[in-house]
Structure 1
Amino acid sequence: MVQPKYHVFICTSCRINGQQKGFCHSKGAVDLVERFMEEIEDRGLSGDVVINNTGCFGICDRGPIVVVYPDAVWYGSVSEEDVERIFEEHFENGNPVKDLMI
């Protein structure tokens, strides 16, 4: 069983019936998940960082929302351009990206 260093949850506004619609989805959250997965592959971190898409966290005005455990760090208004910074600063250097934190 893989024991990742970081478990990342990204809201894609996935409903219980599997349909994706809502604020985070409309703000490109599905593309954001893909960008995170690309970065994992590019950096060779498949055993260290695991990504899951989620339903709503209830703070839609701050979306797309990204939550990183075990650090319990919540990022808001995350864009594809922020992904590289999150990997460099948080996952590789252990420093959460302060200006993205909620």
Structure 2
Amino acid sequence: MSGLKQIFVCATPGRDASGGLRCGEKGGGKLLDLFREEVALRGLDPAVLVQRNPCSRRHHEGPVVFVFPDDVWYTGVVPEDVPGIVEKHLL
């Protein structure tokens, strides 16, 4: 699968050690679902292209999305960002 690009969405629930909300509590779980839906709508395989990311420890910037292998990080992602990120990196 040379050239495969993937989107990793942090959807870790709960709070961090200082009591701050993690990405899952800031909408990361919903974003994960939205990315999978958007990818499927475009005829791509969401099971391969969209993955749940382990906690990046950047929840203060969350929800966080990482694009591999582009090495691009998106922070503060909202549902309206999903189509554009898919368009830019997977198509």
Q: TM-score range by the shorter chain?
A: 0.7 to 0.9
Distance in 2 (alpha carbons) for counterparts of 1:53 and 1:34: 10
Distance in 2 (alpha carbons) for counterparts of 1:37 and 1:82: 13
- Give the letter for the 1:37 counterpart: R
8 Å contact kept, 2:6–2:69: yes
Distance in 2 (alpha carbons) for counterparts of 1:41 and 1:10: 16
Deviation at 1:76, TM superposition (A): 0.6
Moved over 3 A (4+): none
Tell me, which stretches of 5 or more residues in structure 2 are unaligned? Answer: 16-21
Tell me how large the CA RMSD over aligned residues is.
Answer: 1.8
Tell me, which stretches of 5 or more residues in structure 1 are unaligned? Answer: 14-19, 93-102
**Partner deviation per Cα, 1:70-90 (whole Å, 9 max, x = no partner):** 111111111111001112233
**53-62 or 79-88: bigger deviation:** 53-62
Deviation at 1:91, TM superposition (A): 2.3
Per the alignment, residue 44 of structure 1 pairs with 43
TM-score with structure 1 setting the length = 0.72
Q: Do residues 24 (structure 1) and 17 (structure 2) align?
A: no
Deviation at 1:52, TM superposition (A): 1.3
**Partner deviation per Cα, 1:31-51 (whole Å, 9 max, x = no partner):** 10000000111001218x611
Report the count of equivalent residues: 83
TM-score with structure 2 setting the length = 0.79
Distance in 2 (alpha carbons) for counterparts of 1:50 and 1:90: 11
% identical aligned pairs: 36
